[in-house]
Structure formats: structure tokens, C-alpha cells
């Protein structure tokens, strides 16, 4: 087998890896770079395209395949959410008046090309998917061909969250010939998750005591539902006092419907609840005008550059009683959340607004941290390990840590390696 690293190496974004055998060729992910457009940079002659999960940096380039009738493989949630995100991308491009060569028909074609399954056999090749943690429906992929085995993690985590179980190393294939692993947090050890959740609750309680508003920008898919469920449960059990809590995002509300429908993707506890994502204390709103302050608001966009989150950020930033909770680890350089956090200001319509509200970053990430990455590599003992999906420093820091367990390598973009 040959591994061709087409994108998402030495950086995050545009993930795509081709696996080539004498009989055929499959793609592992088909993503775009965040903030960039769909491109024709990747080959299109794949026998199958396997999508690890519904984040656009792993799936956003699928529109460029919409007219070649590809076989796309992935889970039910990945299929439904990816096609919704593609429709949303088309809507945003049209709203901005950009010439975008794809329309809703193209996004529908992608949905029609989808094979929802956990295993697939192609000539000379067998493919198996395994739960990856990270977000609902995320999968790792193993490919067997010619007596060799490759395991691709996609984005993953080993830790459980309130709604999702982490990936279970004991269920994954041992001693693969090659492990292709993400390295987002290759050089970073995070605080224990319980401690991060306590930090969040402390921040919310302190803001409630001074009757302030809490703004929580979150992605429409998974982070938004996870945060709403966390706060809902904390109010139900008395960990947090009752307060107005809202979500504002039509896309998130649609995805919440899938979550109620496909409970099998979530923890046992969630599966036992009738409509686990119909919350007791969290209301879904359509517009910011419906908010009754003071309130906790979970809304899109996740980086605070558009939608309700940008609007509320600019409304609430000047008041020191309010707080803004950032739960993403990564923030794009020009995002309002990054500027608010680092420079203590915001820019709206050319005016500068000083940020007096408390801005707190609490990284409740769905990625494995360095400890979890090493734990997986120790459990699987791969012959060779290729580090992808991470800034080069992060990948190299991990590479140094695992060099005693496996032959570690950080590939270059477009590099082709035989296994
Ligand atoms: Zn992801």
C-alpha cells in the first residue's frame, strides 16, 4: 500500500489522505481549510471517500465531487450533518454575493452518494470503522490490503464527556503497520476535564451573583448541544442556580433534532432518556431580541465573527458584570474572540469597543491531549506512526515523546510513502 498525504499535514485544515493499492484507491477525508473555499486540488478518481466526521476541515471539499458520483462512506450523523453544513456554506457564499460554483443540488447529490455503514469491502481491500469520540458519529478507519493494515484516527479523544464516550483502544486493531494519528494537542497536556467543567460552573456562578450575562459562542454541531446539556443537568441537580438559558442558532436546533433521533451514538445514560436533548432549563430562541436578561446564551458562530455571537459580543462586552466563555482551544488570528481576549477590544462598523466583560478561555476540547495521544500509541504499538492534523511544533513535540515506542514521522504535504 502507498499513503499519499494530500492535505492536513503540518497544519490543521484541508485533511485528505489517499491510500493506494494495486487494485484501487480510497481517500481518507476530503476537507477544506477553515475560512477558505472549495478547491479542485485533490484527485477525484477514488473508489471510495471515507469521511471521519462532520467537521468541514474533514468534509468540506466534498462539493467538488458532487458531479462525479463518488462512493462516500461514513456514519448516519456524519452524513446528515455534513450535508447540512454544505447547504449552510452555499447559503453563506450566496448571501455574501460571492460567485460560488455549487448549489443545493450539489449538496443533495453528496447525500445521495453516501453509504451509511461501518464496514465495506472493495477489490483487494477491506475497510472497518470504529468509534473515535471527538463528536457524535466520528470514526477511525482501518484499511487492510495485501496483508498490511493502516489505521487512521481522524480527530479523536479517549476521554468521555457528558454525552459521548471516548474511543476505546481495546476495541481497535493492535500493531498496525501504519498508524496515521492527529496531533492537534501533540505538545500540550490539558487540565483534567472535571476541573475544566468546575472552572466553567464557577465562572457562570460568579456572573449570576452579579446578575450579569454569560455569552458562550459554540459551534452548531455537537459543542452547542454538549454545552446546553451540561448546563441543563447542572441546573437540574442544583449545581447551578436557575437562570435564563438560551440557545440561538437555527442550524444547531436542526442538529439537536438528529441527536434526539440517533441516541445510539451517545452514552448509555443519554440513550435511557426519552428526548435527551429536549432540555428542562434551556430554551431555543430564533433571535437575540427574544432574550430576557440577565441570561446565559449559547449561540453561533463559534469564533464570534458572525450571527448572534458577534451581535451579543458587541452588546455585552463593555459591561464588567458580563462574561464571555471561549471553549475552543484554537482561535483564528483575526477572530473577534481572539482580539477581545488578547487586546481587550472589539471592532464594529469601524468603531472600537473596549472589552470590560471577563473573557475566559476554558478548553473543553474534543481532541486527545498529549497524554491521550501517547496512551493510544502505547496501547496499539504501531510499527510506524505518521503525525498529521497539527501545527508542525505540536507534531514534533509528540514525535519526540513517542520515538521509544514506534517509528514516528511527520510527513510533508504531497509526500508518498510505501507501507
Ligand atoms: Zn473535528
> What's the 213 CA to ligand 1 centre distance in angstroms?
29
Q: Are 317 and 340 in contact (CB under 8 A)?
A: yes
User: For residues 245-277, b (16+ Cβ closer than 10 Å) or e, as one string?
Assistant: bbbbbebbbebbebbeeebebbeeebeeeeebb
What's the confidence (pLDDT) of residue 392?
96
What's the confidence (pLDDT) of residue 34?
79
> What's the 51 CA to ligand 1 centre distance in angstroms?
11
> What's the 207 CA to ligand 1 centre distance in angstroms?
30
Matching residue, cell 514521522: 409
Minimal CA–CA distance to 310: which of 349, 258, 343, 271?
A: 349
Domain ranges of the chain: 2-188+366-418, 193-361
What's the confidence (pLDDT) of residue 97?
87
The fold adopted by the segment(s) 2-188+366-418 is Metallo-beta-lactamase; Chain A (3.60.15)
> What's the 163 CA to ligand 1 centre distance in angstroms?
16
> What's the 134 CA to ligand 1 centre distance in angstroms?
7
DSSP code at position 310 = H
What pLDDT, in 10s, does the model give residues 267-311? 999 999 999 999 999 999 999 999 999 999 999 999 898 899 999
Helices (H), 103-189: 104-112
Average pLDDT, the chain: 96
What's the confidence (pLDDT) of residue 330?
79
Yes or no: domain 193-361 corresponds to CATH 3.40.50.10890: yes
Tell the burial category of 4 from Cβ atoms under 10 Å away from its Cβ (0-12, 13-18, 19+). middle
Q: CA–CA separation, 175 vs 179, rounded Å?
A: 9
> What's the 303 CA to ligand 1 centre distance in angstroms?
15
**35 pLDDT tier (thresholds 50, 70, 90):** confident
Q: C-alpha cell of 294?
A: 440577565
Q: CA–CA separation, 304 vs 314, rounded Å?
A: 10
Lowest mean pLDDT among 12-16, 92-96, 193-197, 212-216: 92-96
> What's the 48 CA to ligand 1 centre distance in angstroms?
20
Amino acid at each position: 500500500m502507498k499513503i499519499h498525504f494530500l492535505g492536513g499535514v503540518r497544519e490543521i485544515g484541508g485533511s485528505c489522505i489517499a491510500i493506494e493499492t494495486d487494485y484501487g484507491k480510497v481517500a481518507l477525508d476530503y476537507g477544506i481549510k477553515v475560512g477558505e473555499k472549495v478547491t479542485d486540488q485533490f484527485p477525484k478518481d477514488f473508489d471510495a471517500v471515507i469521511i471521519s466526521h462532520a467537521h468541514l476541515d474533514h468534509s468540506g471539499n466534498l462539493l467538488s465531487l458532487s458531479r462525479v458520483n463518488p462512493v462516500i462512506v461514513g456514519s448516519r450523523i456524519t452524513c446528515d450533518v455534513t450535508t447540512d453544513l454544505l447547504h449552510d456554506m452555499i447559503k453563506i457564499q450566496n448571501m455574501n454575493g460571492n460567485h460560488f460554483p455549487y448549489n443545493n443540488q450539489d449538496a443533495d447529490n453528496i447525500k445521495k452518494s453516501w453509504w451509511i455503514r461501518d464496514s465495506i469491502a472493495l477489490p483487494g481491500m477491506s475497510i472497518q470503522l470504529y468509534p473515535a469520540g471527538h463528536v457524535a458519529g466520528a470514526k477511525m478507519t482501518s484499511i487492510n490490503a495485501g496483508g498490511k493494515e493502516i489505521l487512521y484516527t481522524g480527530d479523536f479523544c479517549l476521554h468521555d464527556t457528558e454525552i459521548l464516550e471516548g474511543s476505546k483502544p481495546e476495541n481497535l486493531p493492535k500493531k498496525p503497520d501504519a498508524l496515521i494519528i492527529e496531533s492537534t494537542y501533540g505538545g500540550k497536556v490539558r487540565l483534567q476535564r472535571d476541573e475544566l467543567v468546575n472552572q466553567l460552573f464557577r465562572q457562570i456562578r460568579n456572573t449570576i451573583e452579579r446578575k450579569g450575562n454569560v455569552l458562550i459562542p459554540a459551534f452548531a454541531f455537537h459543542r452547542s448541544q454538549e454545552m446546553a446539556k451540561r448546563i441543563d443537568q447542572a441546573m437540574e441537580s442544583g449545581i447551578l442556580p436557575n437562570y435564563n438559558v438560551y440557545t440561538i442558532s437555527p442550524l444547531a436546533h436542526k442538529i439537536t433534532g438528529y441527536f434526539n433521533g440517533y441516541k445510539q451514538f451517545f452514552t448509555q445514560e443519554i440513550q435511557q432518556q426519552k428526548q435527551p436533548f429536549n432540555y428542562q432549563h434551556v430554551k431555543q430562541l430564533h433571535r437575540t431580541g427574544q432574550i430576557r436578561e440577565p441570561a446565559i446564551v449559547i449561540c453561533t458562530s463559534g469564533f464570534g465573527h458572525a450571527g448572534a455571537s458577534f451581535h451579543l459580543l458587541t452588546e455585552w462586552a463593555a459591561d464588567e458584570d458580563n462574561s464571555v466563555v471561549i471553549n475552543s482551544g484554537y482561535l483564528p488570528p483575526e477572530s473577534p474572540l481572539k482580539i477581545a481576549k488578547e487586546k481587550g477590544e472589539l471592532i464594529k462598523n469601524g468603531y472600537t469597543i473596549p472589552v470590560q466583560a471577563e473573557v475566559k478561555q476554558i478548553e473543553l476540547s474534543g481532541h486527545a491531549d498529549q497524554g491521550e495521544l501517547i496512551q493510544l500509541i502505547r496501547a496499539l504499538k504501531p510499527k510506524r506512526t505518521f503525525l498529521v492534523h497539527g501545527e508542525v511544533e505540536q507534531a514534533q513535540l509528540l514525535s519526540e515523546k513517542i520515538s521509544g515506542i514506534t517509528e514516528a514521522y511527520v510527513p510533508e504535504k504531497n509526500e508518498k510513502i510505501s507501507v
